Amino acid sequence: MSVAASLVQGVYILERDRQEKREGPDVLAPPWWKFFHFQLLRPLVDDVDSSIFGAVYEFKPPSSQDNDTLYRSPRYVIAFRGTLTKSDSVSRDIALDIHFIRQGLHQTSRGDIAIQAVRNMVETVGDSNVWLAGHSLGSAMAMLTGKTMAKSGMFLESFLFNPPFVSAPIERIKDEKVKHGIRFMGSVITAGLTIAMQAKQPKDLSVDPFAALAAWVPFLFVNPSDHICSEYIGYFEHRRKMDEIGAGVIERLATQNSLGGLLMSAFGKESEPLHLIPSASVTVNVGPTHDFQDAHGIHQWWKPDLRLEHKLYNYK
């Protein structure tokens, strides 16, 4: 976890080095990957503003590394950074944030660059040798590439830190009954709209594309005080509770559709709700958080005194 987070931080610092024109011995990014015996193969550059948004790393362990560690290590990691508030890249990053909210990140050129980079690496070295990592907007980019590869039957190990979830921050409500009631009504409405849409546009029910992704189990790292990602906690827990009360059929329809996506489909617009996934290994940072910056920051995931809770959710 901390290694993957550090490799993502390396991408952030690569872009800051570029923006501040640091070169040679003045660059600050290399220690973030060299300390863990990785080397930078190449950065991923946005074609719109020339900013560095990702990086391809290769693991180069010392000859003294034990075989068990080597077996559990990736050969390559493709990492993506999140939004930077620096003037050289903020407008492009925010535009992509909006694309994600509108469920259209897959239609952007940065998304195309990321998918092609991952696809090329997988074709060259095999899917078992490639890991993905990302933070915030970078997690959305890793989610896009991971889901794209999973649709082809290739399930990449993925570490997604503070992945954004498009929803009202229901998880911040303290009253569990109120929270469950809101989620239940949302599920009923979403399922009803889904049935209505399917009646107008019948699909081949012999193939469930959502269930086909169930074998891909990305690692999600979320903080309950971060409203950008905290809904993943409720998303999976609500699905479990709906199964317990016998409302699993409703939730199976609701869990793979969003109201925004359904409305866009009604108007004939294509959407890809990246935040809706069948399975995940969810790790929650339950330690104290000072403010939103602390709750959303990548730095929290390499702190030595982390208090974590973990649950595995497999789609049935």
> What's the predicted TM-score (pTM) here?
0.86
Domain boundaries, the chain: 2-168+209-247+273-313
* Diameter of the chain measured on Cα atoms: 63
> What pLDDT does 96 receive?
95
Residue 283's nearest CA partner among 216, 222, 215 is 222
Residue carrying structure tokens 């050129």: 109
Write out pLDDT tens, residues 240-266.
777 766 665 666 666 666 655 555 555
Question: Residue 248 has what pLDDT?
Answer: 59
Q: Give the number of other CB atoms < 10 A from CB of residue 247.
A: 17
Residue 47 pLDDT: 95
Q: 39-48, 179-188, 206-215: which range is least confident on average? A: 179-188
133's enclosing H/E stretch is strand 130-135
Q: Average pLDDT of 4-14?
A: 97
The pLDDT of residue 246 is: 67
Mean pLDDT, rounded, of the chain: 86
Interval 90-148: pLDDT, tens: 999 999 999 998 888 999 999 999 999 999 999 999 999 999 999 999 999 999 999 99
Identify the weakest region by mean pLDDT among 11-15, 28-32, 89-93, 169-173. Answer: 169-173
Q: Write out pLDDT tens, residues 299-311.
A: 999 998 899 999 9
Chain segment 193-229, per-residue pLDDT in tens: 666 666 555 555 555 778 889 999 999 999 999 999 9
Q: Which of the residue ranges 36-50, 51-65, 165-179, 270-284 has the most confident prediction, judged by mean pLDDT?
A: 36-50
Q: How far is CA 25 from CA 21, 35, 40, 52, 241, in A?
A: 12, 16, 16, 19, 55
* Least confidently predicted of 32-46, 181-195, 280-294: 181-195
Residue 163 predicted with pLDDT over 70: yes
CB atoms within 10 A of CB 95: 13
Q: Is the pLDDT of residue 174 over 90?
A: no
Task: Give the lowest-confidence range in 146-155, 219-228, 271-280.
Answer: 271-280
Specify the pLDDT at position 274.
85
Fold of 2-168+209-247+273-313: Rossmann fold (3.40.50)
Q: Is the pLDDT of residue 182 over 80?
A: no
* Backbone phi and psi for residue 250, each to the nearest 5 degrees, phi listed first: -60, -45
